[in-house]
Amino acid sequence: MATEALALRDLVKTFGATRALDGANLVVERGTIHGLIGQNGAGKSTIIKILNGLYRADAGTIAIGGQISPSISPRVIERLGVHIIHQEALLPPSFTVAEALFLGAEPSHGPILAGRRMRRRAEEAIGAYFDLTLPRGALIGELSAAQRQIVQITRALLNKPRVLVFDEPTASLVRREANRLFGLIRRLRDEGTSIVYISHYLEEVRDLCERVTVLRNGRDVATVDPRVTPMADIVSLMINRGIDEMFPKQVVRPGKPALALRGLGRAGAYADIDLTLHEGEILGLTGLVGSGAKEVLQTVFGLTRADRGEIEIHGQSAAVPSPARAIARRLGLVPEDRRGQGVALDISVRENATLASLKDLTRFGLIDTRRERRQVDGLIARLGIKTPGPEARVRDLSGGNQQKVVLAKWLSAQSDIYILDEPTVAIDVAAKVEIYRLLGDLAKRGAAILILSSDLLELQGICDRILVMYRGRIVRQLGAHETTPEAILAAAAGAGLGPERVAA
């Protein structure tokens, strides 16, 4: 018993009809880094919210340091030595670093703040844990995401925690910052702190953790040692499905050209872009940041104008100067900023799904609600959108299901050309698979699909052809079946490696 730093046993938590947790266990040994993984909706965030006292479990026990604690509030949990590093920093943006660090336990003379002592101790603490100094006197709101996270971790460490919970800590970090974080986590472990590490990135979990608990549907399906368990096994534990089913491949014979770019150029962004997208084809476009791939897509979206060249849609020359014009030509646009541009978060699934096709559903200026309802029900079933009902707010859906609503919008508008910008960013594995299957389905029915993605595995898995851009030009065309992620990356990075099938 005494070796357990934290033990959650048989936790149950229900919200209405859904069981977010259904007898979940998480037992963390003292002085270890323990991973917690699972798809979105598997119950990770519910566990965190129970741990920080926001939710109360319906059943089950929470033991911290061998001591069973019946009721949990933010104060109680911190007194017992458990601190949570939230994904979004919980720091007031208008505070200075020192103020944010010591809020709630400010150095003071009686009620009067000891400002200088507070600043000095803040600098000492950050220097001790991270070996760096933040800009003197900076406000939290002026710091970068990584710097804010440093403040948050230091804040937790000041309390000498016995258990430290990291919730998706690398989500907003670049690689170098993430490596620095991993170093710190290992050091804390060596100093005897127990760590719970929650992440989407299996690679990180493998490199960092000694044990990993896999959550699925509110239950812990397995606790394994990731250093000896093959990644593929862990993935199938998470999704309960073999890895080969990730990319449901459908062989489709391409038809007539649907979208063609001829000699497209835009000063400072891209030049000489020739590209033909056929009906029934899924064409991938990729490149590093600054390669111009994103800018090409923006022109096709109608957000920016090309200086030279032309765009043909179904064989007809078409300048596409605005998204409205693009939609009128039955282009379906799936932007990268899903929550900002893809869906309207605060209206219902039904309203979102028919947003682009209301014209077809309207009679004498009124919406034919029965037909609309029938169409929406059909779309929800066809796309497998997980929603409490057609009237649910899109905000309440998971990321993957929000993306399906975007696709539903274009399906109902009978789009036949789909342009997607990073369609599976921040979507969990199972929903990704469903979106891949949907795209395959669409292609089979004759839709032409252009995908911009930086997920190489995804490109290779679902596309027929992949165009790689480098410094504003298409430098390589790769047949998806004959290439590897390494070859795509090499071409994008400008190396002369990979299969010798250069685009004409």
Q: Is 246 in the site for other proteins (CB under 8 A)?
A: yes
Which of 87, 197, 200, 170 is CA-nearest to residue 427? 200
Q: Is 149 in the site for other proteins (CB under 8 A)?
A: no
Single residue of 288, 303, 318, 503 touching other proteins by CB under 8 A:
288
Amino acid type, 399: G
Single residue of 9, 49, 206, 473 touching other proteins by CB under 8 A:
206
Q: Which is nearer to other proteins, 235 or 258 (CB)?
A: 235
Binding mask 335-374 for other proteins (x = CB under 8 A): ----------------------------------------
Stretch that binds other proteins, among 11-19, 143-151, 332-340, 473-481 (CB under 8 A): 143-151
How many residues contact other proteins, by CB under 8 A?
57
Tokens 């990731």 correspond to: 226
Q: How far is CA 232 from the centre of its chain?
A: 20
Q: Which is nearer to other proteins, 66 or 183 (CB)?
A: 183
Q: Is 228 in the site for other proteins (CB under 8 A)?
A: no
| E strand spans, 144-246 | 163-167, 194-198, 211-216, 219-224
Q: How far is CA 300 from the centre of its chain?
A: 25
Q: Is 93 in the site for other proteins (CB under 8 A)?
A: yes
Long-range contacts of 444-447 (CB under 8 A, 24+ apart): 444/250, 444/252, 444/280, 446/255, 446/279, 446/280, 446/416, 447/279, 447/280, 447/415, 447/416, 447/417, 447/418
Q: Is 468 in the site for other proteins (CB under 8 A)?
A: no
Handedness of CA 173, 176, 181, 186 (dihedral sign): positive
Q: Which is nearer to other proteins, 66 or 92 (CB)?
A: 92
In the bound complex, what is the minimum distance in angstroms from residue 366's beta carbon to other proteins?
34
Residue 366: phi and psi, rounded to 5, are -115, 145
Stretch that binds other proteins, among 41-49, 319-327, 452-460, 472-480 (CB under 8 A): 452-460
In the bound complex, what is the minimum distance in angstroms from residue 1's beta carbon to other proteins?
29
Handedness of CA 384, 385, 388, 389 (dihedral sign): negative
d(CA 473, CA 269): 9
Q: Is 429 in the site for other proteins (CB under 8 A)?
A: yes
Stretch that binds other proteins, among 93-101, 253-261, 300-308, 444-452 (CB under 8 A): 93-101
CB 364 within 8 A of CB 398: no
Single residue of 45, 52, 213, 412 touching other proteins by CB under 8 A:
52
The Cα-based distances of 25 to 45, 66, 385 in angstroms read 14, 15, 29
Which of 174, 233, 188 is CA-nearest to residue 206? 233
Stretch that binds other proteins, among 72-80, 161-169, 307-315, 368-376 (CB under 8 A): 72-80
Task: Please name the residues in contact with 365: beta carbons below 8 A apart, sequence gap of 6 or more.
Answer: none
Tokens 């997980």 correspond to: 386
Q: Is 204 in the site for other proteins (CB under 8 A)?
A: yes
Stretch that binds other proteins, among 312-320, 347-355, 436-444, 449-457 (CB under 8 A): 449-457
Residues that bind other proteins (CB under 8 A): 52, 74-75, 78, 90-95, 99-100, 103-104, 106, 108, 111-113, 115, 135, 138-139, 141-144, 146-147, 174-176, 201-204, 206, 230-232, 234-235, 243, 246, 288-289, 429, 453-457, 460-461, 485, 489, 492
